[in-house]
């Protein structure tokens, strides 16, 4: 088996076996002459159908006869001849042996269509959203990605043209085929686009808003002007289908059937991991129960991501779409103590999936981190998301240069803090936050100090009053590993409180 589904077929020159390479008029006639003489003939053609150049002509010289009228009988005769085996979409890779005893290795490329089942009705042409240059007509027109080389083509079945996997799909952490749903959206096939997305991503409206879209950074369109808006289009497809369902233009999503003979499965945690696992199991027919310790599902999506990035109604709608397919969601139900894993097994759950996530922020090993005004990032974001009253003063120092640090800084600005400073070890080019997050934070008034490492939280009257820093000279060693070094003689401090 070769890459991309190609198959290598080794053919030995058995007694009376002949290979003809090329399925044009000469190759077809040669195959027929040999087959009629009693030889077994393998007719190898590199395109998806035989016929060669003559199939592309309108008239023949000098008689001005219709070329297709001339070769059509040959096409049928070759196809029906019991002594001829057509190897279309194939190429000879190697030839070994000697006269009268050859072994040929043939690479047979996939059609992605079952020839035995294809009736060549052409309905797939109307459904296919992808247009390609029509090489059969010398680039003078376009064709669909699924096509029949020409109406009378033999084998009489369609084939799908596929290139190498696109960089957007290769870069996507979920492996979602961005080309697929972008093409469907371009044809107005919004429901089909959303169904395509959901093969990999169960929370499309959410991800369309918060994904850092590495696909766009690798998009080939960058070589022309700017990348295709892959992430916003995901959001668009999810939003427009949801609205059309609300308006009654599109029916609700069909529920998968649950096989009651299959064992029950428990999923602990209703974050992205738990919901994805539950949905995949449900599609396979398993009865699934999701246990969530909080009053709302969603995990860190609900508790930690700021509302300005992810509106709660959007998150709730995506989760509802999943739960409504048949998942038993139990909120305010922690799995611990006497109600732990052993208890779930007693309740008849034959498998348990733990999707509990990473619930704690990492602190810093410096003096003063235990002062009451010092808050960890996730704790701060969770308290704000849950509507708790936060007392943080008029000056806030955020230690860190990642995306979560930018979320904290921008959230503090939204709480009315006038002076917000984000201080990080990395220089501007090395900051781990995405460039647009840094840019938007700066636009909102967040000051950013690069190449400084914290040494101490300054205490005044038992309260945090600022942070001391020393100059960071490098963050990574020669092998790219995190190993910061400092110039202890260069220090500064930033007020807080």
CATH code for the structural domain at 264-354: 3.50.50.60
Domain 1-164 sits in CATH 3.40.5: no
In the numeric block, which tokens belong to residue 61? 């010289």
Indicate the fold that domain 167-246 takes in CATH: Fumarate Reductase Iron-sulfur Protein; Chain B, domain 2 (1.10.1060)
Cβ atoms of residues 348 and 264 within 8 Å: yes
**pLDDT value at position 177?**
92
Residue 305 pairs in a beta bridge with: none
CA–CA gap between residue 111 and residue 161 (Å, rounded): 8
| Short-list 30, 45, 42, CA closest to 102 | 42
Tens place of pLDDT per residue across the chain (497 aa): 334 467 666 665 555 799 999 999 999 999 999 999 999 999 999 999 999 999 999 888 788 888 898 899 999 999 999 999 999 999 999 999 888 888 999 999 999 999 999 999 989 998 899 999 999 999 999 999 999 999 999 999 999 998 888 899 999 999 999 999 999 999 999 999 999 999 999 999 999 999 999 999 999 999 999 999 999 999 999 999 999 999 999 999 999 999 989 999 999 999 999 999 999 999 999 999 999 999 999 999 999 999 999 999 999 999 999 999 999 999 999 999 889 999 999 999 999 999 998 888 889 999 999 998 899 999 999 999 888 888 888 999 999 999 999 999 999 999 999 999 999 999 999 999 999 999 999 999 999 999 999 999 999 988 899 999 999 999 999 888 999 999 999 999 999 98
Given the candidates 3.30.420.40, 3.50.50.60, 3.30.1330.10, 3.30.710.10, the CATH classification of the domain at 377-495 is: 3.50.50.60
**pLDDT value at position 134?**
94
Q: Fold match between 167-246 and 264-354? A: no
Domain ranges for the chain, please list them.
1-164, 167-246, 264-354, 377-495
**pLDDT value at position 58?**
87
Cα–Cα distances in angstroms (integers) from residue 17 to residues 37, 100, 104, in the given order: 11, 10, 12
**pLDDT value at position 276?**
96
| Concatenated DSSP letters of 6-49 | -EEEEEE--TTEEEEE--SHHHHHHHHHHHHTT-EEEEE-SSSS
With a threshold of 0.85, does the pTM exceed it? no
Per-residue pLDDT tens digits for 400-450: 999 999 999 999 999 999 999 999 999 999 999 999 999 999 999 999 999
């Amino acid at each position: 088996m070769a890459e991309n589904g190609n198959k290598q077929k080794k053919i030995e020159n058995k007694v009376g076996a002949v290979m003809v390479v090329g399925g044009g008029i000469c190759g077809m006639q040669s195959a027929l002459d040999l087959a009629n003489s009693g030889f077994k003939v393998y007719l190898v053609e590199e395109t998806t159908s035989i016929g060669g150049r003559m199939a592309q002509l309108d008239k023949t010289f000098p008689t001005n006869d219709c070329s297709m009228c001339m070769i059509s009988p040959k096409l049928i005769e070759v196809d029906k001849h019991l002594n001829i085996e057509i190897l279309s979409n194939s190429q000879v890779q190697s030839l070994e042996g000697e006269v009268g005893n050859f072994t040929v290795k043939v690479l047979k490329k996939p059609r992605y269509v079952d020839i035995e089942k294809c009736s060549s009705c052409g309905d797939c042409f109307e459904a296919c959203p992808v247009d390609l240059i029509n090489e059969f007509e010398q680039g003078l027109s376009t064709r669909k990605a699924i096509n029949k080389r020409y109406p009378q083509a033999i084998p009489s079945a369609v084939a799908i043209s596929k290139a190498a996997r696109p960089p957007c799909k290769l870069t996507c952490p979920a492996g979602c085929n961005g080309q697929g749903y972008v093409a469907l959206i371009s044809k107005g096939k919004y429901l089909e686009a959303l169904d395509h997305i959901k093969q990999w991503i169960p929370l499309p409206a959410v991800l369309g808003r918060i994904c850092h879209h590495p696909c766009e950074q690798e998009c080939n369109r960058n070589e022309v002007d700017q990348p295709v808006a892959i992430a916003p289009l995901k959001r668009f497809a999810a939003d427009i289908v949801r609205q059309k369902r609300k308006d009654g233009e599109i029916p609700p999503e069909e529920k998968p059937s649950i096989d009651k003979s299959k064992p029950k499965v428990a999923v602990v945690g209703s974050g992205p991991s738990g919901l994805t696992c539950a949905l995949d199991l449900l599609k396979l027919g398993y009865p699934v129960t999701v246990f969530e310790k909080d009053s709302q599902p969603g995990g860190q999506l609900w508790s930690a991501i700021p509302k300005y990035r992810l509106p709660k109604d959007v998150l709730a709608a995506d989760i509802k779409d999943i739960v409504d397919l048949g998942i038993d969601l139990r909120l305010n139900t922690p799995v611990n103590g006497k109600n732990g894993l052993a208890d779930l097994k007693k309740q008849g759950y034959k498998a348990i999936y733990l999707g509990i996530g990473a619930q704690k922020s990492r602190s810093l090993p410096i003096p003063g981190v235990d002062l009451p005004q010092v808050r960890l990032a996730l704790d701060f974001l969770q308290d704000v998301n849950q509507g708790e009253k936060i007392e943080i003063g008029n000056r806030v120092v955020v230690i860190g240069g990642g995306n979560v640090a930018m979320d904290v800084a921008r959230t503090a600005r939204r709480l009315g803090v006038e002076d917000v400073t984000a201080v990080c070890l990395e220089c501007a080019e090395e900051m781990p936050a995405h460039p647009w997050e840094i840019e938007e934070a700066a636009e909102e008034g967040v000051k950013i100090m690069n190449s400084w490492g914290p040494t101490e939280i300054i205490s005044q009257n038992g309260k945090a009053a600022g942070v001391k820093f020393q100059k960071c000279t490098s963050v990574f060693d020669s092998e790219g590993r995190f190993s910061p070094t400092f110039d202890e003689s260069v220090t500064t401090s930033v007020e807080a409180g």
